[in-house]
């Protein structure tokens, strides 16, 4: 398949085949954004409260109220302090609750203005493709773990956070499984907002796939409020790659898995989850190359999922992305 044919196929993605006059109405779009933001704020508050209460009830049931109260010390800890396994999972639980609440609130309210159900922003009217999510989780997880292992073997100093989370392999495996599950929920929230609502809504006005990737990537990076330009570029590249996945696969399932795997490798092998934002640092030009590698890698995972017959059959991905 030549580049021109490939781009034509992406332009006719099944995910965008159901765009309607409601989606192309600029007044509805302008009205949907503030209404969605208001609903997102309410959803984030409710989701955060619910997640906090669930975490406290679980921990207090296991070890009593003092242990549950200790979870909150992670918010006042020094940026250099290493969180315990419970504190890390508590942060991930709250993050998942806030992200899901905000995303569901926004997409539900904004989608209603365009006469859409929230499920319209997941895929092209199919049942949720769980195997596709798992495929993204495994493929990206394996590749990123190999990259981290290669860096360690080349002499780069590494102190994987998972090694501090439990004294034995069984405890570390339980922590990793719980962290990965919570990160899937957090990733699903961001995907349904950016590669769901935003992608479908922007495609109502923009028909060039590259322009959609650039716009989605820039807005995805901007929402994270990272003060560092190099990190901004890395996130923008990731958002662009995830946009390609949604267009090629006709939905966000593969992107959810890939997004969660990226975050899981960072939290388990590179740096722990903390409540503090990244500190400003000098521009690191080397991250421009990392951004390009990430973009190419995510596009490669999407193409592999479609073009490798055995993987395509197992995940349920369709060989044809066009409507």
DSSP 90-158: HHHHHHHHHHHHHHHHHHHHHHHHTT--GGGGTBSSPPP-HHHHHHHHHHHHHHHHHHHHHHHHTT---
Is 288 a member of any domain?
yes
Distance between CA atoms of 55 and 86, rounded to whole angstroms? 9
Q: Supply the pLDDT for residue 76.
A: 77
pTM of the entire predicted model: 0.94
Cα 62 to the chain's mean position, in Å? 31
Is 320 a member of any domain?
no
Q: Are 219 and 198 in contact (CB under 8 A)?
A: yes
Angle subtended at Cα 299 by Cα 294 and Cα 301, rounded to the nearest 5 degrees: 95
Angle subtended at Cα 171 by Cα 168 and Cα 177, rounded to the nearest 5 degrees: 135
Residues in the chain: 323
Q: Are 127 and 218 in contact (CB under 8 A)?
A: no
Q: Using alpha carbons, select from 270, 306, 243, 263 the residue that is nearest to residue 140.
A: 263
* Residues with Cβ within 8 Å of residue 41, at least 6 apart in sequence: 102, 105
Q: Supply the pLDDT for residue 152.
A: 86
Is 113 a member of any domain?
yes
* Residues with Cβ within 8 Å of residue 267, at least 6 apart in sequence: 88, 92, 161, 179, 183, 273
Is 218 a member of any domain?
yes
Q: Supply the pLDDT for residue 284.
A: 82
Dihedral of CA atoms 223, 225, 229, 230 in degrees, nearest 10, equals -80
Q: What is the domain extent for residue 213?
A: 3-315
Q: Supply the pLDDT for residue 286.
A: 79
Is 323 a member of any domain?
no
Distance between CA atoms of 248 and 229, rounded to whole angstroms? 29
The total domain count for the chain is: 1
Is 203 a member of any domain?
yes
* Residues with Cβ within 8 Å of residue 241, at least 6 apart in sequence: 213, 217, 294, 295, 296, 297, 298, 299, 302
Q: What is the tally of helices (H) and strands (E) in the chain?
A: 13, 0
Is 321 a member of any domain?
no
| Exposure string over 218-247, b if 16+ CB within 10 A, otherwise e | bebbeeeebebebbbbbbbbbbbbbbbbbb
Q: Supply the pLDDT for residue 318.
A: 63
Written as tens digits, the pLDDT of the chain (323 aa) is 677 788 888 888 999 999 999 999 999 999 999 999 999 999 999 999 999 999 888 887 777 667 777 888 888 777 777 888 889 999 999 999 999 999 999 999 999 999 999 999 999 788 899 999 999 999 999 999 999 998 888 888 888 999 999 889 999 999 999 999 999 999 999 999 999 999 999 999 999 999 999 999 999 999 988 888 989 999 999 999 999 999 999 999 999 999 999 999 999 999 888 877 777 778 887 788 889 999 999 999 999 999 888 888 888 776 445 55
């Amino acid at each position: 398949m030549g580049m021109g044919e490939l781009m034509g196929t992406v332009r006719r993605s099944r995910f965008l085949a159901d765009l309607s006059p409601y989606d192309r109405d600029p007044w509805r779009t302008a009205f949907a954004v503030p209404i969605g933001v208001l609903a997102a704020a309410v959803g984030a508050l409710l989701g955060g409260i619910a997640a906090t209460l669930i975490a406290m009830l679980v921990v207090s049931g296991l070890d009593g109220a003092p242990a549950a109260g200790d979870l909150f010390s992670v918010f006042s800890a020094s940026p250099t302090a290493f969180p315990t396994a419970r504190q890390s999972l508590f942060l991930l639980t709250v993050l998942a609750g806030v992200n899901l609440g905000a995303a569901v609130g926004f997409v539900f309210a904004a989608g209603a203005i365009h006469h859409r159900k929230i499920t319209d922003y997941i895929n092209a009217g199919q049942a949720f493709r769980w195997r596709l999510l798992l495929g993204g989780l495994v493929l990206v997880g394996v590749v990123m773990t190999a990259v981290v292992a290669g860096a360690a073997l080349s002499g780069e100093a590494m102190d994987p956070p998972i090694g501090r989370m439990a004294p034995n392999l069984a405890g570390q495996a339980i922590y990793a499984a719980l962290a990965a599950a919570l990160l899937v929920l957090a990733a699903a929230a961001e995907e349904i907002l950016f590669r769901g609502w935003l992608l479908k809504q922007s495609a109502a006005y923009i028909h060039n796939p590259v322009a959609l990737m650039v716009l989605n990537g820039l807005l995805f990076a901007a929402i994270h409020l990272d003060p560092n330009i190099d990190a901004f570029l890395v996130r923008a590249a990731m958002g662009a790659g995830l946009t390609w996945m949604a267009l090629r696969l006709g939905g966000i399932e593969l992107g959810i898995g890939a997004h969660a795997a990226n975050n899981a490798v960072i939290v388990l092998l590179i740096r722990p989850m903390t409540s503090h934002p990244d500190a400003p640092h000098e521009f690191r030009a080397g991250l421009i190359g990392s951004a390009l590698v990430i973009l190419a890698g995510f596009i490669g995972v999407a193409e592999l999922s479609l073009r490798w017959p055995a993987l395509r059959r197992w995940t349920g991905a369709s060989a044809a992305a066009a409507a």
